[in-house]
């Protein structure tokens, strides 16, 4: 579907949603609420089939609306599987946690985000599946509350905070994070650019919202995405590596898992704006300190190497702070010297508390 056609579909769906009335989440949510179900309810409401509250509860009204939709479209009656979600149209996917979310996105996952922001009391607009100005402002408010970068983007750290605090079930999906720009030159093709940068044509097209079947223009600037591990999931190989290095270096693996989840959501190839890399998001200056002063050797720039650097540094902090995990994590977050001279900064305390609380579930 081309951009203009897709835009028209979005407008028609938005008009239908508005015509069915305000989409307010329930002020109190049943214990069995599943935020992903809120995405299904919004999609069904857009089709005029679900007219109750968007509450994330898969009750009889939601089931009846879903089964009616499936019968109308000749689908097997049952759970909202991938086939049903495709039939639901633009609001039928993707599931929350399967992509980086920024302003202008439209879909199931945005509906879930709006539902969650409503529950948190930072959003009072329509649950319409569109990440517009009002939703972006609410997301920034949430990020500030969580002491996250208020960039109105659901990236790894924001998603990790949401998954942990709101217990949103997410599934393994491939996502991309744009890291740098490429200016199109004479002779460039999407195929050649993708191959040169270790990505795919589809990922390039998605990152830049372009039609991969249309020619690119000389001078056009393209975001180059880097494939990452699954967000909101626990890839077995990454967790196994974290456990292996934790045991080798004598650091509590549960603490390392929690720290890695908070820093990257178990992503292996993410690079922050400050240059922090890998599962544990260590800065180049931290790596140099570990290599020069702690390990006394160069450590490979691999997944294992990044994990080893991070754990060696945390072990160092645990040693200098005499096993005090609160101070060690504070040193990780704000710097060892700053902790010694100033104690824990106000913005550091929630990070430390979150990691320690998460450890009990890791």
DSSP-assigned letter for residue 293: I
Q: Within its chain, how far is the Cα of 317 from the centroid?
A: 28
For residue range 282-338, list pLDDT tens digits in order.
999 999 999 999 999 999 988 899 999 999 999 999 999 999 999 999 999 999 999
Tens-level pLDDT at each residue, the chain (362 residues): 343 333 444 444 444 333 333 333 333 334 468 899 999 999 998 888 888 888 998 888 999 999 999 999 999 988 889 999 999 988 899 999 888 898 888 899 999 999 999 999 999 888 888 898 899 999 999 999 988 889 999 988 888 888 878 877 775 343 333 356 788 888 888 888 876 765 667 777 877 888 878 888 888 888 776 443 333 333 336 778 999 999 999 999 999 988 887 777 666 766 766 778 888 989 999 999 999 999 999 999 888 999 999 999 999 999 999 999 999 999 999 999 999 999 999 888 878 887 887 687 56
- In CATH, 176-227 is 3.40.50.1980: no
How do 221-227 and 176-183 pair as beta strands? antiparallel
Nearest CA to 178 out of 99, 251, 260, 62 is that of 99
CA pair distance 228, 41, nearest whole angstrom: 30
If residue 42 lies in a helix (H) or strand (E), which one and from where to where? helix 35-46
DSSP-assigned letter for residue 76: P
Cβ atoms of 271 and 209 within 8 Å: the answer is no
pLDDT for position 4: 38
pLDDT for position 155: 86
pLDDT for position 75: 93
pLDDT for position 140: 95
Query: Using only C-alpha atoms, what is the Rg of the chain?
Result: 22
pLDDT for position 272: 67
pLDDT for position 49: 87
Cβ atoms of 320 and 336 within 8 Å: the answer is yes
pLDDT for position 197: 66
Cβ atoms of 47 and 88 within 8 Å: the answer is yes
CA pair distance 331, 268, nearest whole angstrom: 23
The reported pTM is 0.50
pLDDT for position 28: 37
CB-based contacts of 120, cutoff 8 Å, min separation 6: 142, 145
Q: Which two tokens stand for residue 285?
A: 């200056």
pLDDT for position 15: 42
CB-based contacts of 171, cutoff 8 Å, min separation 6: 95, 97, 98, 232, 233
CA pair distance 176, 306, nearest whole angstrom: 20
The architecture (CATH level 2) of 3-166 comes to: Orthogonal Bundle (1.10)
pLDDT for position 169: 75
For residue range 83-111, list pLDDT tens digits in order.
999 999 888 999 998 888 988 888 999 99
Tell me the three state secondary structure of residue 271: strand
If residue 179 lies in a helix (H) or strand (E), which one and from where to where? strand 176-183
The residue assigned the tokens 């093709």 is 189
pLDDT for position 51: 82
pLDDT for position 24: 37
- In CATH, 236-359 is 1.10.530.10: yes
pLDDT for position 189: 87
Domain parsing of the chain, residue ranges = 3-166, 176-227, 236-359
């Amino acid at each position: 579907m081309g951009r203009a056609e897709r835009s028209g579909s979005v407008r028609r769906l938005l008009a239908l949603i508005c015509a069915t009335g305000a989409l307010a989440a329930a002020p109190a949510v049943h214990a069995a609420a599943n935020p992903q179900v809120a995405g299904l309810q919004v999609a069904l409401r857009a089709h005029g089939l679900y007219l109750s509250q968007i509450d994330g509860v898969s009750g009889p009204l939601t089931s009846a609306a879903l089964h009616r939709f499936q019968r109308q479209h000749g689908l097997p009656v049952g759970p909202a599987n991938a086939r049903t979600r495709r039939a639901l149209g633009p609001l039928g996917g993707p599931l929350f946690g399967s992509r980086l979310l920024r302003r202008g996105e439209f879909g199931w996952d945005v509906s879930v985000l709006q539902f969650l922001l409503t529950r948190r009391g930072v959003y009072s607009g329509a649950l319409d599946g569109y990440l517009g100005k009002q939703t972006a402002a609410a997301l920034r408010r949430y990020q500030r509350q969580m002491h996250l970068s208020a960039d109105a983007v659901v990236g790894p750290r924001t998603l990790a905070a949401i998954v942990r605090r709101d217990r949103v079930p997410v599934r393994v999906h491939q996502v991309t994070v744009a890291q740098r720009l490429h200016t199109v030159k004479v002779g460039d093709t999407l195929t050649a650019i993708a191959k040169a940068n270790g990505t795919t044509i589809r990922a390039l097209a998605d990152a830049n919202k372009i039609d991969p079947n249309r020619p690119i223009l000389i001078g056009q600037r393209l975001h180059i995405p880097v494939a990452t591990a699954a967000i909101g999931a626990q890839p077995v190989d990454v967790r196994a590596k974290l456990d292996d290095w934790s045991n080798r270096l004598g650091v509590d693996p549960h603490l390392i898992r929690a720290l890695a989840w908070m820093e990257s959501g178990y992503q292996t190839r993410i690079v922050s704006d400050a240059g922090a890399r890998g599962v544990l998001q260590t800065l180049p200056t931290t790596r140099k300190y570990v290599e020069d002063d702690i390990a006394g050797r160069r450590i490979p720039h691999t997944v294992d190497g990044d994990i080893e650097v991070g754990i060696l540094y945390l072990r160092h902090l645990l040693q200098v702070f005499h096993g005090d995990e609160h101070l060690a994590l504070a040193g990780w977050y704000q710097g060892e010297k700053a902790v010694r001279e100033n104690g824990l900064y106000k913005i550091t305390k929630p990070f430390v508390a979150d990691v320690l609380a998460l450890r009990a579930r890791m």
